[in-house]
Amino acid sequence: MWLPLPVNTKQFQLISNSATDYDLFLRYTNQKETINSFSVSVAKYWWQKSITHFSFFILVLIVCFLFYRRYKNLKAEKVGAMQKQTLLEIKTIQAQLNPHFIFNALSSIQGLMNMGKVEEANNYLSYFSLLMRNTLSNSDKINTLLSLEIKTMEQYLKLEQLRFGFMYEIKCAKDINTDFTEVPTLLLQPSVENAIKHGVSKKGKNGRIEIFFEKNNNDLLIHIYDNGDGFISAHQNNGYGIKLIKERIKLLNKNSVIDSIEYFTKSDSNGTEVIFIFKKWL
């Protein structure tokens, strides 16, 4: 469509939404048969250029990456803070196990003294000092080697055997590397103490405690059995040592996203069995 230009026009405007190349046709009003054509190229605005679009895309990617990295760092800091808090709570509970264990051991020494068994009490003190050295050296550690935990457990059983005279047996499956596998420090100890105090303490030489370590796929199973008279579950669950076990297991599971620990107790008139299942531990 031909459009007339205003008189004395010194410039004209090409209007388009997208194109940058134009064909301009001109003719004079008194010589309409003559048509002049011109090719006109108009430079793009800076925001229309491809380099601008590409640069903006890269900038958006960089900003998104920085936000994502910041989010990940904040999340990692939050998780790290929670883990530190959980570890502190675990150590607090673990610190409570040591005086609980010492109290029970000293009670055994007192029992021997009250029965006039001075020589046995002296022997107990000698064993007790060795046991305390091993226990205290690992008291600040969350985990300890299974071989050391078994050694500590056996030392304690030998001590209590001096007083009560029961028999005990500790067995570990050959496919468990006790010098490589770690378990939470003193986690098993309260259950062993209960097996003695509430299980075999009144049976003398007829008392028996059996502790088995076995592997089930990638799980570590630990059984602590005594042939005592059993107990009422509700009463047993109120024990101080058992409360510490449950609180500690809860915190240990909270602190780990891979492995976990389960704890069961079965008791009847024929005895009591405590089972620890360390999931995906091996």
Range of the domain at 245: 92-279
Q: Give the pLDDT mean for 45-53.
A: 77
Spatial contact of 210 and 275, defined as CB atoms under 8 Å apart = no
Task: Give the confidence band of 219 by pLDDT, cuts at 50, 70, 90.
Answer: very high
Q: Give the pLDDT mean for 130-156.
A: 79
Task: Give the confidence band of 177 by pLDDT, cuts at 50, 70, 90.
Answer: very high
Q: What is the pLDDT of residue 100?
A: 62
Edge-to-edge strand list for the sheet holding 260-268? 167-172, 208-216, 219-226, 271-279, 260-268
- Pick from 173, 166, 174: nearest CA to 207: 166
pTM assigned to the model: 0.63
Same-domain status, 133 and 255: yes
Distance in angstroms between the alpha carbons of the first and the last residue of the chain:
86
Same-domain status, 57 and 153: no
* Residue 278 predicted with pLDDT over 80: yes
- Pick from 170, 162, 196, 169: nearest CA to 271: 196
Q: What is the pLDDT of residue 120?
A: 74
Instruction: Establish if 87 belongs to a structural domain.
Output: no
Q: Domain ends where: 28, 49, 64?
A: 64
Instruction: Establish if 84 belongs to a structural domain.
Output: no
Q: What is the pLDDT of residue 169?
A: 95
Q: Domain ends where: 14, 45, 64?
A: 64
Q: Give the pLDDT mean for 112-127.
A: 76
Backbone phi, psi, residue 147, to 5° = -60, -40
Q: Give the pLDDT mean for 87-105.
A: 59
Instruction: Establish if 82 belongs to a structural domain.
Output: no
Cα–Cα distance, 223 to 210 (Å, whole number):
8
Same-domain status, 179 and 239: yes
Q: Domain ends where: 45, 64, 83?
A: 64
Q: What is the pLDDT of residue 194?
A: 86
**Residue 262 CA to its chain's centroid (Å):** 14
User: Which percentage of the chain shows pLDDT scores above 90?
Assistant: 19
44-53, 84-93, 142-151: which is most confident: 142-151
Question: How high does pLDDT run on average in the chain?
Answer: 79
**How confident is the model over 178-189, as pLDDT tens digits?**
999 999 887 888
122-136, 198-212, 223-237: which is most confident: 198-212
Range with the poorest average pLDDT among 7-11, 143-147, 228-232: 7-11
Q: What is the pLDDT of residue 130?
A: 72
Q: Give the pLDDT mean for 92-112.
A: 65
Same-domain status, 150 and 264: yes
Same-domain status, 132 and 234: yes
* Residue 224 predicted with pLDDT over 80: yes
Q: Which parts of the chain fold into alpha helices (H)?
A: 50-114, 118-137, 146-164, 189-194, 233-236, 240-255
Task: Give the confidence band of 257 by pLDDT, cuts at 50, 70, 90.
Answer: low
Task: Give the confidence band of 14 by pLDDT, cuts at 50, 70, 90.
Answer: low
CATH assignment at residue 215: 3.30.565.10
Q: What is the pLDDT of residue 96?
A: 53
Same-domain status, 139 and 29: no
Q: What is the pLDDT of residue 234?
A: 42
